[in-house]
Structure formats: C-alpha cells, structure tokens
Amino acid sequence: MCGLLGLISPTEHDAGSAVNAVADALPCQRHRGPDESDTWHGGEVVFGFNRLSIIDLEHSHQPLHWGPPESPERYTVLFNGEIYNYLELRAELIEKFGATFATDGDTEVIVAAYHYLGSSMVGRLRGMFAFLVWDSERKVVFGARDPFGIKPLFYATGPGGVAFASEKKSLLALGSTLRMNDELDHRAFQHYLVLQYVPEPESLHRAVRRIESGTSFTVSPGGEVVTERYFHPTFTARQVSSDGEAKRLQDEIADVMRDSVAKHMRADVTVGAFLSGGIDSTAIAALAKEHNPNLITFTTGFERQGYSEVDVAAESAAAIGVKHVVRTVSAEEMMETLPLIVWYLDDPVADPALVPLWFIAREARQHVKVVLSGEGADELFGGYSIYREPLSLAGFERVPGAVRKAMGKVSTAIPEGVRGKDLLRRGALNLEERYYGNARIFRDDQLNSVMRGFDPGVSHQDVTAEAYRRSQGWDPVTRMQHVDLFTWLRGDILVKADKTTMANSLELRVPFLDPEVFRVASTVPQDQKITRETTKYALRQALHQIVPEHVINRRKLGFPVPIKHWLRDEMHDWARNIIQQSQTDHLLDRSGVLQLLEEHRSGVLDHSRRLWALLVFMIWHAIFVEGRITPQVPEPQYPVRL
C-alpha cells in the first residue's frame, strides 16, 4: 500500500525544477508509504513514490522499470495496491510468452501483463489497485483503478500538464507547476451536503477530478485524459426454487469467501483483522484464523450504552480463538483529533464512524502492518435495512399515480418529527426519486435554510441516473445495490476505510470486494437477500459453520458514534465555536446553522447528521481554503516494518 505521484507535461521538463516539484509534493502523502521514497525523471514524465512494503520487501522498489529482453527499460510503473492473483498471472505470462522477472513482487506482473495482453489486462487483475505505466516508445501513460474503487486516484490538469496522485494534497502542492485553477466546485459542495460525501468523479476543487472505479485511461504529453469503463457490474439472479438449490448457492458463497480470504492473506508481513462484532467482520476473522493461528483482531467503541460493540466483538474473538485488542474513544478525543483526520481525508466525508476507525487503525499499526475488514458485504449481498424499504412500500406501488402525488403533498403539511411523515413522503416517490444511497443528509427544502446559492437544478439524480439506466428491468433491491456500488460504497465506505488506515500507514484489505465473490453474489435472487425478518439471508445461511451462532442474525451496528447525544452536551460549545469562527458566510447562512444547533440541543429535532456534515465542511474549509487551521501531522511512531 503506497502513494504515487506522476507528472506529465506537454514538453520535456527542466529536470531539476520538475523533479524538485514532485519531490516537494511527495511528503504530503508520506503516511501512505513511510518505508522508502524515490523519484524518477524521463523526458516529459516525472514519477514519485512513497512505499509501504508488504510483498517482496527487499526488492520491487518504485518507480520500477521493466521491459522485454529487446527493450529492458521500455516501461516505468507506479502502483498502489495489491494484486492477489499475481502468482497465478505471473506463471501464465511465463508459460505463454516467456516473460522474465527480476523481482518476486506483484508490480512487475502488472507491467508485464500490459505489455503482453494490452489494456484488457485490467480485467485479469484480482485485487485493489491504482497504477500508471509510462511507455517510453509510444510516449503514452496507461493507467487504471480497481473495479470497486478501493484505492484512490486523483488527477489535476492545467496549462502545465496533467498530474495523478493517491492524495489530492500532493496535486494541490503541484498547483503552481500545473498552473491550475483551485476554485471551489459549488456543484460538488451541494452534492456533499445531500450525500455526506463528494461523489465521483468530482472533488471540491474544480481542477481536481478522480479516475472513477472500474475505469482505465490513457494520456499522452500535451493531450487530454481519455477514460474507458472496463467494469460494468451486472446482476443476473439465478432460480432458487428448492432447498437443494438454496444449499448449493450457500456452499458457493462459503467456498468463494474462503478462497478470497486465503488470497487476501498473501503478504510478507503480519496480517490482522478489524472485528466490529457483526457477521461480516467476524466471518473474515474466522476465515483468516485458518491461515494465521496467531491472528490479532481489533475493535473500537464508546463508553455509552448502545454505542459500542466491544462486548459482542470480544465474545466473537473468544469464540473463534484470537487475541483481541480494544480501543475506546472519548468525545474529547474526537474533538481534538477531527481537524487532523479531515486533513487526511482530502475532501470532507461526514461519516462520524471514520473517527473511531482512525483510532483503531492507529492502535492496530502498533501490532500489524495489514488488516482485513468486512466492507462490501452489504452492497454485494443485500445487508442494509433500507433495502427492505421496497417491501414496506409495496402497497404504495398499487396506488394510482395521482393519488400518490396527493399523498406526497399531504406529507409536506405534517410537522417535522411527526411519525409517518417521511414514510408518506417517500411512498409518494418512485425508486429513482427517493433512493440515492444510504446517507440522506439535507433535502432540497432543508438546504434552502442553510446554503447560499442553492441550485434547484442540481439533483442527486445527476449522480444516480446512469446506474439506474443500466439496471432497468432488475428488481428494486438489486437496483438499490447497483446504485450503492457507484455512490455509497466508493464515496463513503471505501474512502473512510482507505484514508483512516493509510493515515496510519496500515494496509486495509477487503475480501468481500473481490471479482470472484461478486461473480457469485451477483446471482443471488432478491428473496435470498431480503426477507421481512432479516437481510443478507443467503450469506447468513452460508456462514453458519464459520461464525459463532450469536452473530448470525445480529442487528448491524458497525462502529456507531453517539454524536446525537454529544452535540447536545459535551460537543455543543465546541460546535458553536466552529460555526462562529468559520469564514464560510459566502457558502452557508451562519444564523441558519446556529438555529439547527440550538434546535438539536433543545431536543426539538435530531439534526446531528446535518450538523456533523456542516462542521466537517467548516473544518475542511478552514484547512484547505482559509489556511486558518494547520493540523500537526505526526511522524510515524510505530514500527515501520512489522
């Protein structure tokens, strides 16, 4: 797990100034790779790299050069991630093409596969990745990002060229070299207030975009970035009409998960696992224990009733026989550390769970260098409670359209907080109108009270329209999953997983988000995912022999954070100070935000998630726009190699 930075200019660089600019920008992402750092210059291209060595520790240094025997240094590659089937792919390249390798790592396999298989090689990679390959003969950079968006890849353009990086901060540091526009993207800001994250390919800086998940690209010096989507997730439900067919499906799920975890355990360093207490992380830990009898698991929680999975996680750890480490987090620690975490994020993500995740990642790095985690299970197997909404709203579907619209108008007259208001409002909408992912922070009518320059022409459907178009004819639950793959998963879940762990130089691997696992999950029919009693039905049945009985049907918690209570008590004055000091009056109505805070404190309404989204943005603005807050970024204090 590493940090890459590549600069491609229209003309050949002045070697000194270009290399110096890249070298100066690299420390912004040193936490992603504290083991070693290097730069390379080749005409119009400068590559820089921060390495966190996981496989082939003594070799596979980057930037890495490779080529066929007739041109041994034709290619130069930067690679962030892990390829879990690199041994199998390496053997195939040797057998079919006589490929030669100087290292035992996976980086060479990527560039060799590109040479022999062309751009289609991305479909052969089983792993998480973002990479750049410079072909010095064709004068072109080819790159790609993994199918689900586990690893980030930003890019920025300007008259000075185009640059790619694992962290946006490094691109901002190259701003003068690129001569790029650093204005705030108001459209992306409005999307953030609705979704609690900035959706791909946007970022809050207009000149900085993101290569989307499942996308490859090419760019030549002086040319534009040309992208192509190579991964189109398709769900094709199988028929499960008998107990025997259901059992075969469950066995396939168990087998593919066992295989995925086995491949995700490949490393030359110590591997541990996050354990939240739910079925997903418990299954990963139990399967990992089969490969590492000395596995260590990690969990976090709060000293508040109902906001901690510490006890059940400890019970699960005892049941599967692993050493377990717990880290509790206080309100004071959250307030003190939040600016630093926002700096690591690059763009704001208003998910409170990322704060305890940062703390447990910091604790885990004292013991291991890699952790496995359960992200992706809910999107692939139907785990969110909101996926049961089509069942609860089925009655509305039988109501004539005009009547449903009338019901929606009636809901607007019902006061906020009254039970049934939101059910009536959502029941009056069709799926495309009402569902845009797990997070629903501000509705349009609520945004008007706090956002200056609110644009009614900007809609969540700008983000979800293509996913809905591609899923026409599928059942509603599967369409919701499909939308989440392009919104919630890559915008929130994977961003917070990557940023909080890499902030602590810890590699996080997600065995559920594996192409082979998706191949099986994509065939699960709706009634094997969602019932009136439970979610992830087929997965739960498949894991009966793997996880302890007490977690099979346990309600999902994740890492819940008690901000609802803290913003009324311990965090109230802190929040008020952030709002009063913020220099965002051109974007937000300060009085409207303060009114939300006081309404929340009095208990009139629960504004906790809306307030958190606003507070995180204000801190982000103070760091990246105002320059008023400068977090003290710590040097790595943990063992660099474990």
Kindly give the residue spans of alpha helices, DSSP state H, lying in 70-223.
86-97, 107-117, 168-173, 175-178, 186-195
The three-point CA angle 316-322-324 to 5° equals: 75
Closest CA to 50 of 76, 77, 31, 64: 31
φ and ψ of 399, to 5 deg? -90, 135
Q: Which of 1, 2, 8, 261 is catalytic?
A: 2
- Give the span between the Cα atoms of 425 and 420, in whole angstroms: 9
CA 161 to chain centre: 28
Which residues belong to the annotated binding site? 106, 373-374
- Give the span between the Cα atoms of 242 and 518, in whole angstroms: 23
2 tagged catalytic: yes
Record the tokens describing residue 402, joined without a space: 């005009």
Which residues belong to the annotated binding site for L-glutamine? 106
Record the tokens describing residue 403, joined without a space: 């009547």
Which residues belong to the annotated binding site for ATP? 373-374
Q: Do 285 and 322 meet the contact criterion of CB atoms below 8 Å apart?
A: yes
Q: Do 213 and 490 meet the contact criterion of CB atoms below 8 Å apart?
A: yes
| Cross-sheet strand order for the sheet of 161-165 | 36-42, 45-51, 3-8, 161-165, 154-158, 208-210
Q: Do 209 and 153 meet the contact criterion of CB atoms below 8 Å apart?
A: no
Q: Do 195 and 487 meet the contact criterion of CB atoms below 8 Å apart?
A: yes
CA 304 to chain centre: 28
CA atoms within 13 A on the CB side of 513: 29
Query: Any idea what DSSP says for residue 304?
Result: S
φ and ψ of 80, to 5 deg? -115, 120
Closest CA to 2 of 60, 45, 44: 60
Instruction: Give CB contacts under 8 A, 24+ apart, made by 459-462.
Output: 460/191, 460/194, 460/195, 460/436, 461/432, 461/433, 461/436, 462/191
Residues paired with 143 in a beta bridge: 132, 217
- Give the span between the Cα atoms of 267 and 265, in whole angstroms: 6
- Give the span between the Cα atoms of 161 and 37, in whole angstroms: 23
Across 13-147, where does the E strand assignment appear?
A: 36-42, 45-51, 64-66, 75-83, 127-135, 140-145
Supply the Cα-derived Rg of the chain in whole angstroms. 24
Taking residue 310's Cβ as centre, other Cβ atoms within 10 Å add up to 18
Q: Do 5 and 38 meet the contact criterion of CB atoms below 8 Å apart?
A: no
By annotation, the residues acting in catalysis are: 2
